[in-house]
A = this chain, B = another copy of it.
């Protein structure tokens, strides 16, 4: 028998199946239905009633209403990831990491801020009114953090360059930049150019500043800079335009703020028949999958994207479990180590492709 539904012809939809309807059909109370659907039956509901409820749930296609449930419990089961830029493959891996970590018990939803802008307080305030189980905020600005209300469980990711007492997970891009500078210095480079990324996020500033500072200490002059969006083609264009001058300045290496930028440089270098690394060394940040397969393969600072998501999810789960992260061994702020991956674009056979 079908449950009673509102007629469709008048434009109304079938009535929502409620716990009360399930209870009526199963011949139990709504309280029992709740106990069964939330799995809290141990020592509280008889096997017989569990079976009756399960049957009714299936027959009616009942799904616990998230609104009612969340209101009663005081919080929902959604985890909101606030991010300025989701349209790149690096971030897709972060998302996957979070999803894997938080599991099916929580629902991951993304709030994408407008055109790469850093998240605003107003957006977060509205998000908080949804009573998310937790918030994950990627690349927050200092202003943003300063005005943040003392909200529920929240973990920051990618907070490069901003101070905060909130639990956070970061990529040690500065450490990676230092290794990169050392590597280039060891190879004897003294004159390099930097190809930066244009986004509102601080991580790029930190990469550049850390590299420039340490490069100088190691006797490397960063004689020129250019910047483009994270786009192979845009980077290729920028390099194409800048190269004649850079060459005149004696540039022997281009340090790129992302692998994507480096692909553009590599592409133009091939077109220009520049030998990499013989005439020009090229480096990136990220270690995207293709970086091991490019021609030549790309020397890059490996950033742990999926692990960034995993760690943030894990922190959040611990916060939800009521743990005081500040008191634990690994503290409330994690820094994921970067790794320098040396490949042919800086250290391969010097003249032309292998």
Q: Which residues of A are in contact with B by a Cβ distance under 8 Å?
A: 8, 11, 13-14, 61, 63-68, 70-71, 76, 78, 80, 86-89, 91-92, 95-96, 99, 107-112, 114-115, 125-131, 149-152, 231-234, 236-237, 263, 267, 270-271, 290, 293-294, 322, 324
Contact = CB atoms under 8 A, between A and B. Distances in A.
Given A68-B71, A234-B290, A293-B233, A86 B80 contact: no
Contact of A86 (B86, B99, B129, B234): B86
A127 B234 CA distance: 38
B110 A110 contact: yes
Contacts of A71: 67-68, 71
B131 A65 contact: yes
Nearest to A61: B149
Given A96-B114, A96-B115, A293-B237, A87 B78 contact: no
A152 B112 CA distance: 23
Contacts of A324: 11
Contacts of A231: 89, 290
Contacts of A126: 63, 66, 107
A152 B65 CA distance: 14
B87 A109 contact: no
Nearest to A273: B271
Contact of A13 (B114, B152, B232): B152
A233 B286 CA distance: 15
Contact of A88 (B78, B87, B322): B87
Contacts of A130: 66-67, 76, 78, 107
A233 B290 contact: yes
A86 B76 contact: no
Nearest to A125: B63
A67 B131 contact: yes
Contacts of A290: 231, 233-234
A95 B67 contact: no
B87 A99 contact: no
Nearest to A14: B150
Contact of A129 (B64, B112, B294): B64
